[in-house]
Structure 1
């Protein structure tokens, strides 16, 4: 069995400062490459912070040049990297919560959040989801936060052949137990590896719980950050099974 290495980037976003956040994302990517990570997933709206009031101003087209440094680095490192950003699919179109898949081959994939939390509709329109990504022996499906609150979303991913369900999220302490119970349940029910990348600190007026985590097929916890702060949460699969690691940044 070929080794697979996935990681959640538990990053802290600076509100509205895309330039600074881009640099921090590059630091995470370099650190992940040192751990041979093949797929790195950042939290929801990681490049802007969870800033609803700034979303319309900061929203980009997915192929905007602002992402080129990250796309180039993902290609150079041969590491598929998923970043969060408000997006419009065309000029003047509604703003959606995007997860942009910067593939290892230099190409771009787009996932837009399908299910909104109450209150998000003031700043965002529901998205359209996106295609699964084939990576070696794995098939990866994407989710952004409230998407996974709908059991049908994970079930649809499994029906499409997903072996990995990767979610960028913002989860507070009060929501952590019910939300992670759902995610762990999907790992068990659908025999998928489930990855959750949470913010490492406060964003948009919300106090994130941190504690990003990865569960293996069957629901066993592979690795989890111990709390808030910045870290890589890594899961490695080899012929001997899964091994987890947390690398503080």
Structure 2
């Protein structure tokens, strides 16, 4: 099986500033490229921050020209990028995970399980198709999706080998959410990844502590705090190995 290097971007968004956040994403992408990352996952609503009251105004379409720098970076670095944004499909508003592929294709995953005040603003999504990177099949999730065991079970039945979630998880919720992802990895034989925010956003104080678990449920690597950086994992003949690089 070809080598695969995946990463979670533990990232601090600027509230409601898409231009600054795009530039910040590109900084992460350049550092990930130096580490030969092939799949990079950003947290929930990373392009805007968790700014629910501004979501309608900030919403993007998948073909929004402001996203072109991400498409260019995916092609230039030969990296699959997954970023978070409010998504307007022309009729409804969703919490989206937007995927940019090295071949120029763009796709959207939409959050299926909304939480709290999200239900007043967004519509429940329909999920999305599996991604394929280096012959591995990847299922996406956004935050509260991971609280529903059937979500990862359905992904595993569909053939997913990696379950990658962009999240916003606080200290209060971290223990149960991380325990769930470790349990899912063991139960379904999939690698699980959590990419969390690094700083306050939308009135929430996230825990940071992004993490990756292997197919047995053992933690491959985690971020020890709420700093900004890349949590990177690589599959080798001896199994998955990981490390954390602070943003430089």
TM-score range, shorter chain: over 0.9
Structure 1 residue 109: Cα displacement: 1.1
Aligned to 2:9: 9
Structure 1 residue 39: Cα displacement: 0.1
Are the equivalent residues in 1 in contact too, given 2:80–2:133 (CA < 8 A)? no
Are the equivalent residues in 2 in contact too, given 1:43–1:84 (CA < 8 A)? yes
Aligned to 2:55: 55
Structure 1 residue 136: Cα displacement: 2.3
Q: 1:95 and 1:106 mapped to 2: Cα distance?
A: 24
Are the equivalent residues in 1 in contact too, given 2:3–2:134 (CA < 8 A)? no
Are the equivalent residues in 2 in contact too, given 1:45–1:83 (CA < 8 A)? yes
Count of residues in correspondence between the two structures: 247
2:196 aligned to which of 177, 194, 198: 198
In angstroms, what is the RMSD of aligned CA positions? 0.7
Q: 1:24 and 1:227 mapped to 2: Cα distance?
A: 20
Moved over 2 A (4+): none
Are the equivalent residues in 2 in contact too, given 1:193–1:217 (CA < 8 A)? yes
1:221 aligned to which of 214, 219, 222: 219
Are the equivalent residues in 2 in contact too, given 1:2–1:238 (CA < 8 A)? no
Q: 2:62 and 2:107 mapped to 1: Cα distance?
A: 9
2:66 paired with 1:66? yes
Cα deviation 1:12-48 (Å, max 9, x = unaligned): 0000010000000000000000000000000000000
Aligned to 1:103: 101
Q: 1:217 and 1:63 mapped to 2: Cα distance?
A: 35
Q: Describe how 1:118-137 pairs up with structure 2 within 5 A.
A: 118-137=116-135
Q: 1:186 and 1:104 mapped to 2: Cα distance?
A: 29
Aligned to 2:187: 189
Which runs of 5 or more structure 1 residues have no equivalent in the other structure? none
Structure 1 residue 123: Cα displacement: 1.5
Structure 1 length-normalised TM: 0.98
SS across alignment from 1:208:
coil
Which runs of 5 or more structure 2 residues have no equivalent in the other structure? none
Are the equivalent residues in 2 in contact too, given 1:5–1:235 (CA < 8 A)? yes
Q: Describe how 1:21-40 pairs up with structure 2 within 5 A.
A: 21-40=21-40
Structure 1 residue 137: Cα displacement: 2.7
